[in-house]
Structure 1
Amino acid sequence: MDADSKQKHVHAVFESIAPKYDIMNDILSFRRHKAWRRFTMRKMDLKPGQTSLDLCCGTCDWTITLAKESRTGQTVGLDFSRNMLDVGQAKVDKLKLGEQITLVQGNAMELPFPDNSFDFVTIGFGLRNVPDIVKTLKEMKRVVKPGGKIVCLELSKPTWQPFKSIYYFYFEKLLPLMGKWFVKRYEQYRWLPESLATFPDLQALAELFRSVGMRNVKAYPLTGGVAALHIGTKGNEGS
């Protein structure tokens, strides 16, 4: 699948699953995604007043967490799916966070923000879906402030047996069936294992962070390597 076809396919997938996205995340990860995000927030150590940009923000759970942690800092959520953003906007409005959170429909590979704009730029469970990972990382680095951090929380690839075999059986065989059973979406949830097949593993993604110039790159495997957290810091000179 070429980059343009992938982008169109992924857009169609997320437009169609938006109403059931949150409940399926809970079911498919056995609610572990919430613990992974809590771990990520501890490692980020976001301070009151700091600003953040949440890419591929989906229905905005992480965007809202970032805003609450910052208390007063402006938080922007960006996603290319209008349906996902509509679900997220309803959450933002319900929590009365509209003055702090701004949602933008856009492309993670071509961010509509000036250089050095945010203290943190995050992407949660979205990097494997972009057509060009390196271009996205470069854009994240461009818009983060010198001394700021880019953060990726993403599915990864377990390496130790027998857990690896069990995980791949679940991920490749059972997960699409669960999508069919719970939300009548088989083809859309078959995309998840397909999207991970060519995605870099823990160490390879860390090297991509370094290749775009990020410093002090940290990589943390989560739940036996099912997911991973990567954090890199932009040099103070802006390079």
Structure 2
Amino acid sequence: MSGKLNVEKIVPYTESKLSKKEQIATMFDDIAHRYDFLNHFMSLGIDIIWRKKALGYLKSLQPKKMLDVATGTGDFAIMAAKRLHPDHITGIDISEGMLSHGREKIEKAGLAKQISLQLGDSETISFPDKTFDAITVAFGVRNFENLHKGLQEMNRVLKPGGKLVILEFSNPTVFPIKQFYNLYFRYITPLFGKWIAKSQAAYSYLPESVKAFPQGEEMCNILKNTGFQAVTCKTLTFGICSIYVASY
């Protein structure tokens, strides 16, 4: 069985009868108030460097109209607005709790005219074909209930010549980074989640979903099979994170 199918079966609340999509929305609603802090705290701020590197792949494109899928609290959208200066960025997410925090951040940053956040599902994107110059997803594709469908939808709304940039966790293979990473993710991350965000389930789900997610060549092949071209993968920080870039 492929990693793609495995990751679609990984859910935050194993005893729940809700769909993965519904569980993910509930999970992020619950941790929205501490999500940004935990992201930066647990990655020692390296996640900010990763985001900057990912957006660097769009600099030459100079996109005017962008879509940020699984936007969460809008961190990636805000950074994109400041670094790429597009005319407009639309952020979509299935968690209203995350979007609410994101709107407050955008208002505070003075970017309300440039960025709009709305409730939206990656598998049924409510925009016409060929709408966006660029699409970004930061740490969100492994949460899709149906990975292929989500990628196909992003391909549909991307303009010819446009680019998709995906930033996602991956599993390092180099000793001793692999061993430390596994220890940190499996035992320490859930403790931080329990103490700080009051949700051990959310941060136990994180390492399981990363472990099951297709990576490297496998993910590149999935992107190609959903209609993308010129697909590349760049690993960062000893393979802890990967950037996938694809064109329409």
TM-score by length of 1: 0.93
1:237 matched to which residue of 2?
none
Alignment counterpart, residue 185 of structure 1, candidates 177, 182, 199: 199
Structure 1: distance between partners of 2:235 and 2:70: 21
Using CA pairs below 8 Å that are at least 6 residues apart, which structure has the higher relative contact order?
Answer: 2
Secondary structure, aligned partner of 2:64: coil
Q: Give the counterpart letter for 2:80 in structure 1.
A: L
Instruction: State the Cα RMSD in Å.
Output: 1.6
Deviation string, structure 1 residues 48-107 (Cα, Å, up to 9, x no partner): 561110000000011112222343511100011101000000011112211111111011
Alignment of 1:44-63 (within 5 A): 44-45=58-59, 50-63=64-77
Percent of residue pairs bearing the same amino acid type: 35
Secondary structure, aligned partner of 1:54: strand
Aligned residues: 234
- Displacement after TM superposition at 1:45 (Å): 1.3
Deviation string, structure 1 residues 150-188 (Cα, Å, up to 9, x no partner): 110000111222221211111111110111222322122
2:142 matched to which residue of 1?
128
Structure 1: distance between partners of 2:86 and 2:181: 40
Structure 2: distance between partners of 1:160 and 1:9: 33
2:167 matched to which residue of 1?
153
Is the deviation greater in 205-214 or in 40-49?
A: 40-49
CA contact (8 A) 1:157 1:202 kept: no
CA contact (8 A) 2:10 2:205 kept: no
Q: Where in structure 2 are there 5+ consecutive unaligned residues?
A: 1-8, 12-17
CA contact (8 A) 1:55 1:122 kept: yes
Q: Give the counterpart letter for 1:122 in structure 2.
A: T
1:225 aligns with 2:230: no
Structure 1: distance between partners of 2:23 and 2:113: 33
CA contact (8 A) 1:51 1:70 kept: no
CA contact (8 A) 2:170 2:211 kept: no
Q: Give the counterpart letter for 2:120 in structure 1.
A: G
Q: Where in structure 1 are there 5+ consecutive unaligned residues?
A: 235-239
TM-score by length of 2: 0.90
Secondary structure, aligned partner of 2:207: helix
2:14 matched to which residue of 1?
none
